[in-house]
């Protein structure tokens, strides 16, 4: 199992018209992914009561399950939203605060922010458990959101705002090292393989929604 992204232009009828995939994808996988996306249909965004074309970025899970003849490919649609700025599609983790290391503190947070039309991020809310540790991590989370950058979604040729949410997990690792990781737990890819840790935020209000049964 691995995850990949696809930049997709969608016309006013909800049909994918241009699909851009990472160059490092093997051709056989890229061809499979492109063919699957072409068959999908989306609810196009509405502007003044009229459907409009636009551009979004899809997060996809791809599995290669062993079969007698080789491998069977399967694809899992994980959602639409702004595009990741980094080529690997991952968001760099926040810094683990020095004071938190000294106190051997950890915890889990749920961060909500907005991707602005210029690709920057604006923090909205932070939920953190245990609550008593929030003060140790608040500034690190704020600094992290401030340095995030995305490729915004577009509607009718104009970049738009999209609200995002991302879970964070701060934990100490072996040998005294520390890390900040993000986790998203979902069934993946027809249960062919298990999904590991994810460091990708999830869009809450993307103007593009895939139609169930629409390919």
Contact by Cβ (8 Å): 164, 204: yes
Quick check: 68 pLDDT over 80? no
User: Does the model's pTM come out above 0.85?
Assistant: no
Per-residue model confidence (pLDDT) at position 196: 39
- With b for 16 or more beta-carbon neighbours within 10 A and e for fewer, the 13-50 pattern comes to ebbbeebebeeebeeebbebbbebbeebbbebbeeeee
What pLDDT score was predicted for residue 71?
74
The pLDDT value recorded for residue 176 is: 42
Mean pLDDT of the chain: 84
Q: How many CB atoms lie within 10 A of CB 156?
A: 15
Q: Per-residue pLDDT tens for 9-63?
A: 999 999 999 999 999 898 989 999 999 999 999 999 999 999 999 999 999 999 8
Question: Which pLDDT value is given to residue 129?
Answer: 94
Q: What is the pLDDT of residues 127-176, one digit of tens each?
A: 999 999 999 999 999 999 999 999 999 999 999 999 999 999 888 654 44
CB burial of 62-98 (b: ≥16 within 10 Å; e: otherwise) equals bbbeeeeeeeebbbbebbbbbbbeeeebebebbebbe
| Local confidence band at 124 (pLDDT 50, 70, 90 cut-offs) | very high
Q: In this structure, how many other beta carbons lie within 10 angstroms of the beta carbon of residue 60?
A: 19
pLDDT attached to residue 164: 96
């Amino acid at each position: 199992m691995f995850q990949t992204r696809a930049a997709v232009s969608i016309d006013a009828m909800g049909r994918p018209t241009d699909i851009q995939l990472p160059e490092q994808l093997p051709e056989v996988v890229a061809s499979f992914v492109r063919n699957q996306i072409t068959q999908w249909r989306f609810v196009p965004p509405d502007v003044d009561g009229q459907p409009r074309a636009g551009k979004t970025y899809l997060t996809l899970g791809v599995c290669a399950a062993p079969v007698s003849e080789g491998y069977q490919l399967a694809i899992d649609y994980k959602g639409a939203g702004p595009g990741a700025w980094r080529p690997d599609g991952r968001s760099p983790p926040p810094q683990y605060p020095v004071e938190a290391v000294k106190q051997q503190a950890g915890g889990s947070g749920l961060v909500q922010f907005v991707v602005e039309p210029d690709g920057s991020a604006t923090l909205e809310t932070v939920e953190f458990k245990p609550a008593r540790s929030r003060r140790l991590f608040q500034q690190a989370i704020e600094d992290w959101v401030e340095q995030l950058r995305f490729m915004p979604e577009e509607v009718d040729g104009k970049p738009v705002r999209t609200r995002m949410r991302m879970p964070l997990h701060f934990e100490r690792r072996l040998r005294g090292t520390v890390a900040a990781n993000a986790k998203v737990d979902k069934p993946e890819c027809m249960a062919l393989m298990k999904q590991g840790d994810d460091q990708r935020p999830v869009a809450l209000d993307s103007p593009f929604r895939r139609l169930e049964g629409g390919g």
